[in-house]
Structure 1
Amino acid sequence: MNVMITGATGLIGSRLVKILAGQGFNIKALVRDESRARELIDDPVEFVCGNLNDEAAIEKALNGCEFLFHLAADYRLWVPDPEVMTRTNVEGTRLLMRKALEAGVERIVYTSSVCVLGCNNDGSPANEEASSSVADMISPYKKSKFLAEKLVMEMFRDEGLPVVIVNPSTPVGPGDSRPTPTGTMILNTARDGGMFYADTGLNVAHVDDIALGHLLALKNGKLGRRYILGGDNLSLKDLFAMTARITHKPGPKFKVPVAVMYAAGFIGELLAKQGLIKNPVATMDSVRMASKKMYYSSDRAEKELGYTHRPAAEAVEDAVRWFRKRRMLN
């Protein structure tokens, strides 16, 4: 069984590689930096250097592959030029799907995100049918992922693209080397207790459960169908308190007023635009996103794929243990 994967060095992708290797797949991975990929991945993988806009590299990586997992994306809360993100996440996805059709790939799992779905105003968990539009997408990242999923669905309907879509929630756990924005919050809370929190909420899932959900989607998913791969719905305060308990820190005490968050987002973007900082801690888009409780249900994936998820506390414990082992808590 020959499989090609993009995003193999990312948090979910690196864990998926381990699962695929354990299942006996022959793996080819499209990576931008082979030396970095070899530092992060010790499983037997054939690396092809290139990016999602590199037609020749994509053709080489897809050659001889029956299956494709497309996880790669430009994921940043702050981006000076949104068009750069669009080129990767939308146009790169279009090129990859086109080449997969030409190569005769039998089945594709496309990794979207719960961020393209709507949220329920009453705070109840939303499902795959939660309506949304491109106008609802707050950040350049969300907009690019919305448009990318839309074009994948159009190619399924119009050209028979053999694709299953998965919408992961917030992955937490081992392997978060960058780390992700949520991993950064957990890391900072593990260091100092996270005294301040915003009145928001998110769905937290162990990264290994999400990675296994990708394989389940390949095996059991219905073509052209969405599947939320999620876990427990938690307020940000509860997530910080959970992390603080694990690391024996004092935990969150003060809710940050909305006005203060907007001021921090405005100042952060201003400093980034002036080139004084690279990545602002908060942006106007991130503050707007924090006004919603992003709670979701994985019922469809559980019933149709056989997906399961462990408690969020295990995900946080494993993440903290991984950070500590690599001396990232210092």
Structure 2
Amino acid sequence: MENKKILVTGASGYLGGRLCHALLSHGYSVRAFVRRTSNLSSLPAASSSSSNSHFELAFGDITDFSSLLAAVTGCDIIIHSAALVDPWLPDPSCIFTVNVGGLKNVIQASKECNSIQQIIYTSSFFTLGPTDGGVIADENQVHHEMFFCTEYERSKVMADKIALQAASDGVQVVVVCPGVIYGPGKLTNGNIVAKMLIERFNGRLPGYIGDGNDKFSFTHVDDVVEGHIAAMEKGRPGERYLLTGENASFKYVFDAAAILTNTSKPRLTLPMWTIEAYGWISVLFARITGKLPLISPPTVAVLRHQWAYSCEKAKKELSYDQRSLKDGLEEMLPWLKNSGCIKY
């Protein structure tokens, strides 16, 4: 696939920026699809080039079909990582406009542009639903759809159906489902682990959240990036691949962070009802100030469930590799310190 030109949507985001850098290092040409108002600090310089790679910007919006079609023209592959990942927004309809409508636009653009050979769609572990009862799920789990913790979760389930239907209709779509992404990089709402560690080390989160029985599949951002590239090179159209990692609780994250930084572990356990009350207060302030909350009632709903997954399929078919959470935090914490976000 050398010399292929890849359009990356959501290129200015936490994952998208690192995807652009990695694709260039793998010898691909990259066109980053970004809004005029986007913060481009995480992207390569637009003049970056070598004999095997080239980087350029295309301006537009995933919800604006004409700008997307113009950006797609001349590309061979689309990596569609653009999404609104916020668990709470004052107007949740925006989540569906971007996450569902955006995917529809990408699929339609690929049909109208003869050069597109493949779409890699960045889905989410939420697509498969919770794993309550100690289950470790794989790609065969189907979301029960009896409830959704967040509108983001609902939107990704809807989008997943659209992607798989397109694949059954002959569109070359490969779906990848990352876990909870963490690691160095842009401090967006997609980097929730970094944000919670910042709150913890700065004293604004004085204890554990809940009883520590939560389970999430934590995935280092660079493992997810390499998983995307492997899915592009080896993935089978119409298949989902879980790009997940170590299944652990946020209590484990806080404890591991304390050990790695030689600082004290939290001494308090904050009951879920107090976190939920804080979430409602945060939402109230968000409506007044316009600043999105770190914790909101939908976030608490997510924390009340378990989300543990296996990445064996990706390991087998994509040669996907996952680092341990400890190893990932060992890299991430010094980065947060050197960035001035935390002190220890």
TM-score (norm 1): 0.93
Match of 1:174 in 2: 184
Aligned residue for 1:27, secondary structure, equals: strand
Task: Indicate conservation of the 8 Å contact 1:66/1:107, yes or no.
Answer: yes
Structure 1: gaps spanning 5 or more residues: none
Match of 1:217 in 2: 231
1:316 to 325, 329, 333: 329
Match of 1:40 in 2: 42
Give the CA RMSD over aligned residues: 1.9
Match of 1:229 in 2: 243
Q: Greater helix share, 1 or 2?
A: 1
How far does the alpha carbon of each residue in 1:155-188 deviate from its partner, in whole angstroms, 9 at most, with x for none? 1113x11000000001111113335222201222
- Give the number of aligned pairs: 327
Aligned partners of 2:90, 2:99: CA distance in 1, in Å? 16
Aligned residue for 2:39, secondary structure, equals: helix
Letter in 1 for 2:327: E
Aligned partners of 2:305, 2:273: CA distance in 1, in Å? 16
Displacement of 1:192 after TM fit? 4.2
Displacement of 1:75 after TM fit? 1.4
Aligned partners of 1:192, 1:266: CA distance in 2, in Å? 20
Alignment of 1:151-300 (within 5 A): 151-158=162-169, 160-178=170-188, 180-192=191-203, 195-198=206-209, 199=212, 200-273=214-287, 275-276=288-289, 278-300=291-313
How far does the alpha carbon of each residue in 1:288-328 deviate from its partner, in whole angstroms, 9 at most, with x for none? 11111211110110011110111111221222222222222
Aligned partners of 1:302, 1:193: CA distance in 2, in Å? 38
* Of 42-51 and 231-240, the range deviating more from structure 2: 42-51
Aligned residue for 1:69, secondary structure, equals: strand
Alignment of 1:48-87 (within 5 A): 48-87=58-97
Displacement of 1:16 after TM fit? 1.5
Task: Indicate conservation of the 8 Å contact 1:269/1:283, yes or no.
Answer: yes
Task: Indicate conservation of the 8 Å contact 1:192/1:249, yes or no.
Answer: no
Aligned partners of 1:35, 1:78: CA distance in 2, in Å? 21
Aligned partners of 1:34, 1:279: CA distance in 2, in Å? 18
Displacement of 1:278 after TM fit? 2.2
1:156–1:258 CA distance, 2 compared to 1 (3 A):
same
Task: Indicate conservation of the 8 Å contact 2:20/2:32, yes or no.
Answer: no
Structure 2: gaps spanning 5 or more residues: 49-54
1:12 aligns with 2:15: yes
Aligned partners of 2:142, 2:266: CA distance in 1, in Å? 33
Task: Indicate conservation of the 8 Å contact 1:94/1:151, yes or no.
Answer: yes
Alignment of 1:20-35 (within 5 A): 20-33=23-36
* Of 190-199 and 275-284, the range deviating more from structure 2: 190-199
Task: Indicate conservation of the 8 Å contact 1:193/1:252, yes or no.
Answer: no
How far does the alpha carbon of each residue in 1:182-206 deviate from its partner, in whole angstroms, 9 at most, with x for none? 2201222344495412232211111
Task: Indicate conservation of the 8 Å contact 1:190/1:249, yes or no.
Answer: no
1:115 to 101, 119, 126: 126
Letter in 1 for 2:316: K
Task: Indicate conservation of the 8 Å contact 1:6/1:13, yes or no.
Answer: yes
TM-score (norm 2): 0.89
Aligned partners of 2:37, 2:284: CA distance in 1, in Å? 35
